[in-house]
Chain A
Amino acid sequence: MATITTRHTARSLKQRLYAWLTCHVNAASDSVQQLWVTPFATALTIAAIAIALALPTALHVFTINLKELGGHWEGAAAISLFLLPHIDEQQADKLANELRQRTDVAHVEIISRQAGLAEFRSYSGLGAALDQLTENPLPVVLALYPTSYISDLTELEQLSASVAQLPGIDFVRLDTEWIQRLQAVIKLLQQGLWLLSAALAIGVLLVIGNTIRLEVENRRNEIEVMDLVGATASFIRRPFLYSGAWYGLFGGSGAWVLVNFMAWQLQTPVDRIARLYHSHFQLLGLDWIATCILMIGAIALGIAGSWLVVAQRLNQLQPSR
């Protein structure tokens, strides 16, 4: 039987390479043309894939922006240093100047006893009761704003612990609750992102699989005849795999455009809000790693979807018993 199966493979390496290349180029261009046969249906399929892929991608962009926001302490995450009662404003000023020398401190604000009382009065609603006090019971407070390169909670906690050691300080309060909440939300979103991505990946697989199934049905006769004349399974499969890859590529590109368009639309309002908070926060677009994952993932899903469908069809071509 060796004579049967080796006859056509006895060709030079160059010829085989050439044949292999032609085969792929043909399959790739053939499958693009196939997309053009039904432009409307193709556009609908690609739009469905793009939207399905855009959802997790947009959620990813939202999450990285939240993370970035959590990293922007300036104007937000203050460490309040409550000084000992006997420290007066002059001493407090000296201490503040010392703190300003530190590289991890952006700036320090002194809240005098009077200012503290006024503030307390305005939001506590205890105005009349406070008037009864003969002496201001509040200490001087230093509001310390860390530099923005301090990007996570532990670093912030380290800073607060180290300033707590300084003389004249009664206690330190780190206002981290909102950061912790934000980080919990980010964690939740990241987990949700995985679930959503998995669900929508299956969705994309099904959309592409179904589209390729229709194509396989339409070209049923062609597949059968190719099988009759001795085409290998991979030869028959190839144009369909390319079709799937094209759907993935175009769908992924569509998702990329959609998400970047959304980010671009939101840029102006976000800038306005950021300015209100004196923040340098800038909306992040789609990073290139995510872009790579999106495109490679989309193409892989396309190939996998059509593989499943075509393999099923090819199995039916086995000689019957």
Chain B
Amino acid sequence: MIQFDRVTKRYPERGEALREVSFTLANGDMAFLTGHSGAGKSTLLRLIGLFERPTRGQVLINGVNINTLPINKIPLYRRYVGMVFQDHRLLPERSVFDNVALPLIAAGLTRREIEKRVRAALDQVGLLQLECAAPITLSCGEQQRVGIARAVVARPPIILADEPTGNLDPELSREIFALFERFHGVGVTLLIATHNLDIIHTLPYRTLRLQQGVLADD
């Protein structure tokens, strides 16, 4: 369960990126996060991923304020939450396979298990034939899909995606959303920031809309 309790995030240079945001997303729910550019979508996701801490208010995951997690537990928490980054955050000099394998290597899985899972994840995003390529040689959309494969490869209970289809054509976008729905089908909690309004309007999920850092619409 993801719960925001009057969360405010202030950047010293920019003022408040999020103001008094409160919402609850039950376990197994899938929701979209929309809003104009600069509305605070990435900020909200980064707070859940514990890449930043709120200025005020609480972010609760399964009822626990993640701000109180001891520092040595943060890595374990990060494995619990899979995140697709808006700027991909891949290692350009490593192969696609290695990039997707990173969360599993960090978690200390065996080589055999890693290979099996990485291939499965790459298959799901349609990149199995590119496993040996380096990310710099890939198109933006392909890099985005590598980032998605990396977020889902460890089968985390929570998946956060920051504009995962920003660089994909409508058909691929639909496929990615279908992939997310499959995860939803097996009980994963998903929160997906997106501008892809025409697709999400056809889907029966909750939509949170941010405006100037305030939750305008639920």
Residues of A within 8 A of B (CB): 1, 3-5, 7-8, 15-16, 18-20, 22-23, 221-222, 224-233, 235, 318-321
**Chain A: CB-nearest residue to B50:** A319
Contact B61 A225 (CB under 8 A): no
Query: Taking the complex as formed, is B139 at the interface, i.e. its CB lies under 8 A from any CB of chain A?
Result: no
Interface residues of A, dominant DSSP: helix
B110 touches A1 (CB 8 A): no
Are A221 and B91 in contact, CB atoms less than 8 angstroms apart? Answer: yes
What CA separation (Å) do A227 and B154 show in the bound complex? 15
Contacts known (A221-B91, A228-B51, A318-B71); A19 close to B110, Cβ less than 8 A: yes
Question: Which of A18, A230, A320 is within 8 Å of B79, CB to CB?
Answer: A230
Shortest beta-carbon distance from B73 to chain A in Å: 5
> How far, in angstroms, from A183 to B209 measured CA to CA in the complex?
85
Q: Are A22 and B72 in contact, CB atoms less than 8 angstroms apart?
A: no
B83 to A, closest residue via Cβ: A228
10 contacts between A and B (CB under 8 A): A4-B61, A16-B108, A19-B110, A221-B92, A222-B91, A224-B89, A230-B103, A233-B75, A319-B51, A320-B52
Tell me which residues across on chain B come within 8 A of A3, comparing CB atoms. 62
| Cα–Cα distance between A233 and B106 once the two chains are bound (Å) | 10
Question: How far is it, in angstroms, between the C-alpha of A20 and the C-alpha of B108 when the chains are bound?
Answer: 7
Q: Taking the nearest CB of chain B, how far is it from the CB of A65, in angstroms?
A: 51
Query: Which residues of the partner chain A approach B89 to less than 8 Å between Cβ atoms?
Result: 224-225, 228
A18 touching B110 in the complex, CB below 8 Å, given contacts A1-B62, A230-B75: yes
Beta-carbon contacts under 8 Å, B59-81 to A: 61-62, 64, 69, 71-80
Does B110 lie within 8 Å of A230, measured CB to CB? Answer: no
On whether the beta carbons of B53 and A320 are closer than 8 Å, the reply is yes
Q: Are B62 and A4 in contact (CB under 8 A)?
A: yes
- Tell me which residues from 82 to 111 in chain B have a Cβ below 8 Å from any Cβ of chain A: 83, 85, 89-92, 102-103, 105-111
Question: A222 CA to B91 CA in the complex, in Å?
Answer: 6
9 pairs of A and B residues whose beta carbons are closest in the complex = A230-B78, A19-B108, A231-B106, A230-B79, A1-B64, A229-B103, A232-B75, A5-B76, A4-B80
* Contact of A319 (CB < 8 Å), options: B53, B73, B90, B102: B53
Nearest-Cβ distance from residue B3 to partner chain A, whole angstroms: 13
- Residue of A at shortest CB range from B66? A1
In the bound complex, residues from chain B placing their C-beta under 8 Å from that of A226 are 102, 106
Taking a contact as CB atoms under 8 Å apart, the answer to whether B75 and A231 are in contact is yes
**What's the Cα separation between A1 and B63 when bound, in Å?**
8
State whether B108 touches A23 (Cβ < 8 A): yes
Among A23, A228, A321, point to the contact of B53 (Cβ < 8 A): A321
Any chain A CB within 8 A of the CB of B24? no
Q: Given A19-B110, A319-B53, A321-B53, A228 and B85 touching (CB < 8 A)?
A: yes
B41 contacts A by Cβ under 8 Å: no
Taken together as a complex, chains A and B put the C-alpha atoms of A16 and B69 apart, in Å, by 24
A18 to B157, CA, bound (A): 26
* B55 interfacial by beta-carbon distance below 8 Å: yes
Could you say which residues of chain B place their CB within 8 Å of the CB of A16?
108
**How many residues does chain B have at the interface if contact means C-beta atoms less than 8 Å apart?**
37
A232: nearest residue on chain B (CB-CB)? B75
Q: How far is the CA of A224 from the CA of B88 in the complex (A)?
A: 13
CB-defined contacts of A233 to chain B, threshold 8 Å: 72, 75
Minimal Cβ-Cβ distance residue in A for B85: A228
Tell me how far the C-beta of B44 lies from the nearest C-beta in chain A, rounded to whole angstroms: 14
Partner of B102, one of A5, A7, A23, A229: A229
Across the interface, name the chain A residue whose C-beta is closest to B51: A319
* Neighbouring B residues of A22 by C-beta, 8 Å: 108, 110-111
B55 in complex: contacting residue of A227, A228, A321, CB < 8 Å: A321
What residues on A are CB-neighbors of B61 within 8 Å?
A: 1, 4
Known A3-B62, A320-B53; contact A15-B110, beta-carbon cutoff 8 A: yes
Map CB proximity to A onto B150-167 as digits: 1 under 8 Å, 0 otherwise.
Answer: 100010010000000000
- Give complex CA distance A228, B78 in Å: 7
A contact residues around B91 at 8 Å (CB): 221-222, 225
Contacts of A15 in B (CB 8 A): 110
Measured CA separation A1–B92 after assembly (Å)? 34
- Cβ of A5 and Cβ of B77 under 8 Å apart? yes
Residues in B with CB closer than 8 Å to A228 are 51, 78, 83, 85, 89
Nearest-neighbour CB distance to chain B for A318, whole angstroms, equals: 7
| Closest chain A CB from B114 CB (angstroms) | 10
Query: For residue A18, which residues in chain B have a CB less than 8 angstroms away from its CB?
Result: 110
Q: With A8-B76, A225-B90 in contact, do A319 and B52 touch (Cβ < 8 Å)?
A: yes
Nearest residue, chain B, Cβ from A5: B76
Closest Cβ of chain A to B51, distance in Å, is: 6
